[in-house]
């Protein structure tokens, strides 16, 4: 059976052919572990889980990597605000996230790398980019030189100049060009910094993903599939391609998939609007399988608008399928397993 994937890189549905026969490697950007996981995090993980299940049916050897971003500005801000140690915060949120995902019947990824466990790899990747003359050191920062990568924008069809629009990137005195982005920056935080050839500091977000991928699949291997929320296409995934192409002689990734955003009553979830739905809260009240159906109730590339009716509709769908599958008499675990099996088959047939 052939598998077709809508590839963001080419903007069309293409037959999936892995780089190495029978072997597939896939990376999905995981959460930044600074606050309670919300249904947007769950949807991204669910789409990754569906890809993983489908690929595992079709190929013998599937490696699924879903990272945990435990070094980020947001984490430092949140830990300062709460007066909690950074490691305590990230470890607590990681535990909640992993428990939530298991409750939602997601398979454990093959690898779940953390940034804090990959600092040496990140330094090594940055050094490779520097050796390739695609980055420069300035004022204790290492900065990616956008001039060195003319193919920038292949995924999003945006140009590097667009990075400056909307003040996404501020001009900084240490940058040769405002559109250049940071690979390593100095840190004044004693719980969030590491010694490096460029001084005590911490990595930028984009290099974290590229480096974790390379540390698992090999620096000169090509990633088969990379996924994540469509808000990550630009600049995060574009920057990943730039970094990955400048630390290795091989292509960075062949197929990209992106899931749509989760809206609540047609509005973006935000703390300021007070409309963030946490996975823990919803799982306290609902059967995880019904939450899973709710998260699948829109096509994965489209926005999912979460309303009052979403859970009611999902409950109805659940009841209908349970009665049609004739599995009411099974134990809860058996029923859930059979149900998930049904959903996965339904998704790709
Ligand atoms: Zn990422």
Question: What's the 267 CA to ligand 1 centre distance in angstroms?
Answer: 24
Centre a 10 Å sphere on the Cβ of residue 27 and count the other Cβ atoms it contains.
Answer: 28
Question: What's the 182 CA to ligand 1 centre distance in angstroms?
Answer: 15
Please give the model's pTM, rounded to 2 decimal places: 0.92
Q: How would residue 349 be classed by pLDDT, with cut points 50, 70 and 90?
A: very low
Residue 236, in any domain of the structure: yes
- The 3-state DSSP class for residue 157 equals coil
Question: What's the 319 CA to ligand 1 centre distance in angstroms?
Answer: 37
Q: Which range is least confidently modeled, 11-25, 245-259, 315-329?
A: 315-329
Question: What's the 223 CA to ligand 1 centre distance in angstroms?
Answer: 13
Residue 325, in any domain of the structure: no
Q: CA 237, CA 252: separation in Å to the nearest integer?
A: 11
Question: What's the 241 CA to ligand 1 centre distance in angstroms?
Answer: 11
Question: What's the 286 CA to ligand 1 centre distance in angstroms?
Answer: 30
Q: How would residue 166 be classed by pLDDT, with cut points 50, 70 and 90?
A: very low
76-80 — which CB contacts under 8 Å span 24+ positions?
76/189, 76/192, 77/34, 78/34, 78/35, 79/34, 79/191
Question: What's the 209 CA to ligand 1 centre distance in angstroms?
Answer: 5
Give 212's contacts (C-beta < 8 A, 6+ positions apart).
27, 65, 67, 113, 115, 118, 121
Question: What's the 342 CA to ligand 1 centre distance in angstroms?
Answer: 31
* Mean per-residue pLDDT of the chain: 92
Per DSSP, helices labelled H in 112-185 are 119-131
Question: What's the 205 CA to ligand 1 centre distance in angstroms?
Answer: 7
Q: CA 106, CA 87: separation in Å to the nearest integer?
A: 25
Question: What's the 259 CA to ligand 1 centre distance in angstroms?
Answer: 14
Q: According to the model, what pLDDT value does residue 328 have?
A: 66
Residue 235, in any domain of the structure: yes
Question: What's the 323 CA to ligand 1 centre distance in angstroms?
Answer: 41
Classify residue 199 as left (phi > 0), alpha (psi -120 to 50) or beta: left
Question: What's the 236 CA to ligand 1 centre distance in angstroms?
Answer: 7
Smallest CA-to-CA distance from 62 within 174, 224, 194 is with 224
pLDDT tens column, 216-233 = 999 999 999 999 999 999
Q: CA 28, CA 64: separation in Å to the nearest integer?
A: 8
Residue 273, in any domain of the structure: no
Taking the alpha carbons at both ends of the chain, their separation in whole angstroms is 10
Question: What's the 103 CA to ligand 1 centre distance in angstroms?
Answer: 24
Q: Which two tokens stand for residue 133?
A: 């003359």
Mean pLDDT computed over 332-341: 73
What domain count does the chain have? 1
Please say if the pLDDT value at position 190 is more than 70.
Answer: yes
Mean pLDDT computed over 102-127: 97
Is 41:53 a contact under the CB 8 Å cutoff?
Answer: no
Question: What's the 186 CA to ligand 1 centre distance in angstroms?
Answer: 21
Question: What's the 287 CA to ligand 1 centre distance in angstroms?
Answer: 30
Residue 334, in any domain of the structure: no
Q: CA 304, CA 261: separation in Å to the nearest integer?
A: 6
Residue 287, in any domain of the structure: no
Smallest CA-to-CA distance from 178 within 166, 170, 186 is with 170
The domain spanning residue 223 has which CATH number? 3.40.50.620
Q: According to the model, what pLDDT value does residue 329 have?
A: 67
Question: What's the 68 CA to ligand 1 centre distance in angstroms?
Answer: 9
Question: What's the 290 CA to ligand 1 centre distance in angstroms?
Answer: 28
Residue 239, in any domain of the structure: yes
Question: What's the 215 CA to ligand 1 centre distance in angstroms?
Answer: 14
Structural domain containing residue 48: 4-117+219-263
Place of tokens 């049904």: 342
Residue 282, in any domain of the structure: no
Question: What's the 45 CA to ligand 1 centre distance in angstroms?
Answer: 13
pLDDT tens column, 277-336 = 999 999 999 999 999 999 999 999 999 999 989 999 999 998 888 888 777 667 777 777
Question: What's the 315 CA to ligand 1 centre distance in angstroms?
Answer: 33
């Amino acid at each position: 059976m052939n598998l077709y994937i809508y590839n963001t890189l080419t903007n069309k549905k293409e037959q999936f052919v892995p780089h190495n026969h029978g072997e597939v490697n896939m990376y999905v950007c995981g959460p930044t572990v600074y606050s309670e996981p919300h249904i947007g995090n769950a949807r991204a993980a669910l789409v990754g889980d569906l890809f993983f299940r489908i690929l595992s049916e079709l190929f013998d050897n599937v490696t699924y990597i879903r990272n945990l971003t435990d070094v980020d500005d947001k984490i430092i801000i949140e830990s300062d605000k709460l007066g909690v140690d950074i490691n305590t915060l990230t470890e607590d949120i990681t535990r909640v996230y992993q428990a939530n995902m298991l409750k939602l019947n997601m398979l454990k990824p093959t690898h779940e790398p953390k940034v804090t466990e990959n600092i040496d790899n990140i330094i090594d990747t940055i050094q490779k980019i520097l050796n390739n003359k695609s980055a420069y050191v300035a004022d204790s920062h290492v900065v990616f030189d956008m001039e060195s990568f003319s193919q920038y924008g292949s995924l999003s069809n945006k140009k590097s100049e667009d990075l400056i629009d909307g003040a996404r990137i501020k001009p900084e005195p240490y940058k040769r060009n405002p559109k250049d982005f940071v690979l390593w920056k100095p840190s004044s935080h004693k719980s969030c910094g590491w010694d490096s050839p460029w001084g005590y500091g911490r990595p930028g977000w984009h290099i974290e993903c590229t480096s974790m991928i390379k540390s698992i699949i090999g620096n000169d291997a090509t990633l088969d599939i990379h996924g994540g929320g469509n808000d990550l296409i630009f600049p995060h995934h574009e920057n990943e391609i730039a970094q990955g192409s400048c630390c290795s002689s091989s292509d960075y990734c062949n197929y990209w998939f992106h899931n749509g955003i989760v809206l609540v009553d047609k509005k973006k979830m935000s703390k300021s609007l007070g409309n963030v739905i946490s996975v823990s809260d919803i799982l306290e009240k609902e059967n995880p399988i019904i939450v899973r159906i709710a998260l699948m109730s829109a096509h994965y590339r489209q926005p999912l608008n979460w309303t009052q009716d979403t859970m009611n509709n999902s409950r109805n769908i659940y009841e209908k399928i349970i009665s049609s599958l004739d599995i009411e008499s099974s134990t809860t675990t058996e029923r859930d397993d059979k149900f998930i099996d049904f959903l996965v088959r339904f998704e790709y047939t």
